Structures are given as C-alpha cells and as structure tokens.
Structure 1
Amino acid sequence: HVASRASYMSSALAASVPRTHPLPPHRSFSRAHRRRSAPLPRAATASESEETHEPMKLAFLGCGIMGVPMAKNLLKAGHDVCVWNRTSAAAAPVVEAGGKLAASAADAAREADVVFVMVSTPDAALDVAKAAADGLAPGKGYVDVSTVDAGTSSTIASIVRATGAEFLEAPVSGSKKPAEDGALIFLCAGDEGLYTRCASPLETMGKAHFFLGDVGQGAKMKLVVNMIMGSMMGAFAEGLTLAEKSDLDPATLLEVVSLGAIASPMFALKGPTMVKGTFNPAFPLKHQQKDMRLALALADELAQDMPVAAAANELYKRARRDGADDEDFSAVLKAVKK
C-alpha cells in the first residue's frame, strides 16, 4: 500500500485531506508525492515517472464543458491528440489549440494508442463506445472518464475488450475549473496495465488518481462522492434560505461557515455566487440530478436506505421541472426558495 496524502473532492472543487496512516487496499498517486520513493503500481517510482513520460498518441471523444479543457491540457503537455465530438463545432477550441479533428469516433480511435471519452450520460457513453469499437484493436486502450453506473461501465468494458483492446473506467471528481487547472481526481478501475500506461495523461489532467480494482468500483465511488456533494448542496441551499428569511446577512453566514468545522471548498466557491443569484454552469444541475438518481439506484440494489440523499434528489427534480437543467447545480437554491 502507498502511505500518502489521499485526495478527496466534490465534483465542484478538489480539496486535499492529509492522512497519517496507510491507505486502504487501493493504489493512489498525487502530484504532491511525485518526489517520494513510494512506487507507482507495477511501474517506475513516482520520481522516475516524472522524468520518463513520453508523448503519447491519444484520442479524446467528447468536447463539452469538461472535455475541452482536458484535451487542451493534454496538448499543452506535448501529447498528440485527435478529437471527435458529435457536433464538430464544439471541438473547435481543441483544434485551434493544435488537436486534429477526426471524422468519426472510430477514425479517432484508429489514430490513437489510447482513447479517452468524456460524455454526459450513460446512454451517450454506450453510443460512443459502440461507435469507436471499429477503430479499436489489440494493443490499444479505452479510458472512459464519464460518470455512469456500474452496469453501463461493465457493458462498455465488454464492447471494448471484444476488440482486444484494454479498458479502464476513470470517472473524474471535479468540474470545469479543476479541469482547466489540471486538478481533477481520477477514480480508476479495470485493466491495471492500462492504468499504468496512462500515468502521464492522468497526471497531466489531474492532481491525483486512484486504482480501485475491478470495473464498476470506480463508477460506484464516483456516484457516492456526487451523492454526498448533492446532499451537501441541498442542505447549504436550505441554510442560505433560512438565514435570509430570518433577516440574517448571508455574507456573514458564509464567513461563519468558513471558520468552523463545516468549512468546505465547495461552500467557499459556490456561496458568493448563490447569494448573488448567479448560476453559470460549471457542473449542470441536470447532471447532478442524474448522479443522484444513479446513486439511489445503487442503494436500492443493495437494499440500503438513503433518506437524506432521496430528499435532496427531490429538490433537484423540482429545480429541473422549473427549468434549471443547464444552470449550475447550485441553482437548487431556487427550488428551495420557491
């Protein structure tokens, strides 16, 4: 096991929590520990890894809020990046930064040794995997960083492995700003050899990456993280609303919260914009509600009650009915106030 500092974060913002004891049975990597002597899984030591990365031939499928900055960071790091998006205009920022535009997902896969995928829904992830399969072959890798349920991820793994390629699920914890800053957290599971091969791009796009075992474990971890985040945001929105109705200054509430045990990078980031009523999307509300739904479905499979998350999910559903789909997920505040 790697004794290190484990990184945790909501999908809104990355934050680090120090550990003084050995990590549980998974392998992790954090930029803060590149100079330590702890070995990367079945690869070079962290310090060696920093010095031996070579440019890779990569494909990036999906050029949305997250995909564009992730692909651009890969280009900045010197990787050869071929991009594809269902609407080609969305890929323009990556092409302008030096990426090559492919005519199809399969063409992009043919151009690359490793394919990265970032799309918004399980159905879209399945569609892209099926479309890319014709361009996959033994020796290639397929890394899906989308947030999907474990069942969908397993289906995608079967599609990919049927071509002889390796598969890694690697959903990210982080939103637009961490994607731009290369500060995402990757929750990986699947073919460990591919995980090791992808050290360079993962380190370029993220501040930490974890290997969690078999396909499905990364997907489940991501859903748990986003369920916690969505529940926290629902409670935060209720607190802001109650403070306002009690004639309390919301700015003072934010300061009080920031100084206490419930201080949170997410609250610090979202609080001021929520007070202003500004909800520019870093993580669209419709995606947060989708993740709440998938997390609750996982809980149902395990016969586990989730009353707090279930109540929060109802707030997001109400916000969606009120037209907040494409606003930031912090717009759940409007549903609370209504």
Structure 2
Amino acid sequence: MVQSVAVLGLGTMGAAMATRLADTDLKVTVWNRSPKRTEPFRNGPARVADSPAQAVEGADAVLTMVFDAVALDEVMATALPAMSKGAIWMQSSTIGPAAAGQQAEKAARAGVRYVDAPMLGTKGPAEQGTLKALVAGDPEAIQQLEPVLDAVASATLRAGEAAPAASALKVAMNTWIATITAGIGQAMTVAQRLGVDPALVLDALEGTGVDSPYAHIKGKAILADDFTPSFDVAGILKDLRLANSQTDGISPELLDALEALYARAAENDGGQDIAAVWKAFQS
C-alpha cells in the first residue's frame, strides 16, 4: 500500500484533498505554483516542497490537481523525471481524454504507473472526503492507492482498465453539471420575466420526479446572490470546450449553447461559482 504521497496543486480542490490526506497516517508533501497557497500547511503535518521535483522525490504516489493540460505539462516536465520508478501517478485534474492518453504514455516511458482518477464533486465534498473517484488504470495500482482514495472519496467507480476512460467519463459528467445548472438558472429567469417569484420554481420542483438536491443548492445561491465558488465558471467553461472539441459525430447544438452561456458568464467574472450562469440569462 502507498505510504507517502505528494500533492501537486493546491487550488480549491487540491488544498481540500491535501488537508484530508494530512489527517491520515500517510506521509504527505505538498507543492503549489503560488507559495501563498502552501501557508496553511507550513506548520501542519504536511511537508511543503519548494519545487515539483522536490515534492515527488521518494513518494510512493503523486496526486496532481491543477487547472488544465497546459498547467499539468508545465508541472510534470520537472516532476515526472524526478519520480521513483514504479511510483503511481494519480492524475485527478480535469484535462480531457486526449491529454489523459498523452500523459499516460509519458508516464509509461518514465517507468511510472499512471492512474486516471478525476473526481466528481466540488469544494464541500472535497473538504468532507466525500468525493466520488472515477478511476481507470492497472487494478494493482488502484488497489495500492486505497489509502489515498479512502481519504478523499467516499466511493470509487472503475471507468476502465486504462486512461483515458475516467477522464472521458468526467468530461461527460461535467456537461451534465453544466446543463442542470443552466437549466435551473433559465427556469428561474423565465418565472421572473413572467411575473412569478423565482423561488417558487424550487418549491414546485420539491418532491417531484424531476427534483434534484443540486438544483436547490444552485437555485438558493442564485436567490441569495451568493456566487462564492465551489466550482468556478472558468473551470466549467474549460470542460465544455473539451467536450465540444473532442466529440465527433454528435449534434453540437446543446454544447454550443452551453459554451456560449458560460462564456458570457465568464465575461462578468470567471472566478464566480457556476450558478452565476444565471447572469447570462439576465443580459
């Protein structure tokens, strides 16, 4: 079993996952491009590294959680050569299937075992350790990652035997998240424009076959005008563009419309929560 893990990337998700890992018996080392993000770990049970290469040195597993494939390339250019032969690279950033396949090939050439492992969930579940891990890779490597997966996720779904199956599933799931979030924003806007209190949309949904706890979370955020990010607009826009660019042979109308809506929301503030797609309907 894995006994030491390096976490590269301490954004909203990475920091929460690293905190969960630091509360276990695992030996944890963290690194982030912006040193400010490492401050909460400097007097705690995790070791703070000055570089990606220093962070991964001697680690049984390396968990990456960065914004996109470009950022991942930059980080792993120095981290991958410094990883121990046979170590496990648990790649949890949402980078899309094409990039996931490429990174798996790089790992194999470096003698590192690659596990495609994006997470379903946002800030709250990450802090509570209740994410859902989507994994694809060598079953033995996944088994050895159990101490890491148990710390950050309450469930694990095997998406396939190798990358990029899990990354493909993650992109598909994020199109659903984008759809349902835009859907509640649209329904509440239509109600508002027709002279009905938009809060009644949530009341009408409650207890029906089409009800969703998630719709209530985002709907209440809209009503409170509270767009503190748990999953930001820039992130979902990046994922929609991945889905749109890497799927051939499907009708693009819905993906195109979603991409346009979230792009409009990003013009206001890409750092706001995806519930801010509501604002795209207001203009």
TM range (shorter): over 0.9
1:111 CA drift (Å): 3.5
- The 3-state SS of whatever aligns with 1:259 is coil
Q: Which amino acid aligns with 2:269?
A: A
Q: Which amino acid aligns with 1:275?
A: L
The answer for unaligned runs of 5 or more in structure 1 is 1-53
- The 3-state SS of whatever aligns with 1:209 is strand
- The 3-state SS of whatever aligns with 2:206 is helix
Pick from 223, 230, 233 the counterpart of residue 178 of structure 2.
230
Q: Distance in 2 between matches of 1:172 and 1:203?
A: 13
The 5-angstrom pairing of residues 237-252 of structure 1 reads 237-252=185-200
Q: Distance in 1 between matches of 2:234 and 2:220?
A: 22
1:80 partnered with 2:18: no
Q: Which amino acid aligns with 1:134?
A: P
Report what 1:329 is aligned to. Answer: 274
Number of positions where the alignment pairs a residue of Structure 1 with one of Structure 2: 282
Pick from 189, 193, 215 the counterpart of residue 267 of structure 1.
215
Q: Distance in 2 between matches of 1:96 and 1:224?
A: 39
The 5-angstrom pairing of residues 254-333 of structure 1 reads 254-300=202-248, 303-321=249-267, 323-333=268-278
1:137 CA drift (Å): 2.5
Q: Distance in 2 between matches of 1:235 and 1:308?
A: 12
Q: Distance in 1 between matches of 2:53 and 2:150?
A: 26
Q: Is the 8 A contact 2:135 2:158 kept in 1?
A: yes
1:188 partnered with 2:135: yes
Report what 1:210 is aligned to. Answer: 157
1:97 partnered with 2:9: no
Q: Distance in 2 between matches of 1:225 and 1:291?
A: 10
Q: Which amino acid aligns with 1:162?
A: R
Runs of at least 4 residues off by over 4 Å = none
**Which TM-score applies when normalising by structure 1?**
0.80
Greater Cα offset, 184-193 or 217-226: 184-193
Q: Is the 8 A contact 1:296 1:306 kept in 2?
A: yes
Q: Is the 8 A contact 2:64 2:93 kept in 1?
A: yes
Q: Is the 8 A contact 2:92 2:118 kept in 1?
A: yes
Report what 1:27 is aligned to. Answer: none
Greater Cα offset, 96-105 or 286-295: 96-105
Q: Which amino acid aligns with 2:227?
A: F
Q: Which amino acid aligns with 2:271?
A: D
**Which TM-score applies when normalising by structure 2?**
0.95
- The 3-state SS of whatever aligns with 2:246 is helix
Q: Distance in 2 between matches of 1:218 and 1:101?
A: 29
Q: Is the 8 A contact 1:108 1:135 kept in 2?
A: no
Greater Cα offset, 183-192 or 285-294: 183-192
Q: Which amino acid aligns with 2:7?
A: F
Q: Distance in 2 between matches of 1:94 and 1:335?
A: 38
Deviation digits for residues 186-209 of structure 1 (CA, Å, limit 9, x no counterpart) = 111123221110012101100111
Q: Which amino acid aligns with 2:40?
A: P
Q: Distance in 2 between matches of 1:261 and 1:306?
A: 28
CA 1:230–1:194 in structure 2 vs 1: closer, same or farther (change >3 Å)? same
Deviation digits for residues 285-319 of structure 1 (CA, Å, limit 9, x no counterpart) = 0100111111112223xx11132222111101111
1:125 CA drift (Å): 1.5
Q: Is the 8 A contact 1:136 1:160 kept in 2?
A: no
Report what 1:20 is aligned to. Answer: none
Q: Which amino acid aligns with 1:266?
A: Y
1:55 CA drift (Å): 7.0
Report what 1:130 is aligned to. Answer: 77
Q: Is the 8 A contact 1:83 1:100 kept in 2?
A: yes
Q: Distance in 2 between matches of 1:258 and 1:202?
A: 33
- The 3-state SS of whatever aligns with 1:299 is coil
Pick from 68, 92, 112 the counterpart of residue 165 of structure 1.
112
- The 3-state SS of whatever aligns with 2:240 is helix
